[in-house]
Amino acid sequence: MSVDLKEIGQRIFERRRELRYTQEQLAEKMEVSVQMVSNLERGNKAIRIDNLVALSEILDVSTDYILTGRRSPEAEGDLAGKINSLDEKSYQMLSAFVDYCLDKNE
């Protein structure tokens, strides 16, 4: 298995944007330079283990998600709980959307 630093960087970038953090804010929270965050997001540098742990806590995702893109079982359980609380119409719409996405990825 090879590690793709650009994919890791893309996941970091996307999650940072979801949380509406600037690179400066993330760097401050991680206690690293803005240049370091920029390099991570562009896939120019590998992340040290201590920074990976801090980053996963700050971004509220697992280290596994940052490194591989796989969500943790806990995250999947949270999503399942949200899906189960949908009304029937919303559930059907979500189901159709998931089918569409799966067909698109084939």
CATH class of 5-68: mainly alpha
Residue-wise pLDDT for 19-63, tens only, equals 999 999 999 999 999 999 999 999 999 999 999 999 999 999 989
Residue-wise pLDDT for 68-98, tens only, equals 988 766 666 677 778 888 899 988 998 898 8
Q: Alpha-carbon distance 35 to 45, whole Å?
A: 10
Buried b (16+ CB within 10 A) or exposed e, 18-36: eeebebeebbeebebeeeb
| Domain boundaries, given as residue ranges, for the chain | 5-68, 73-105
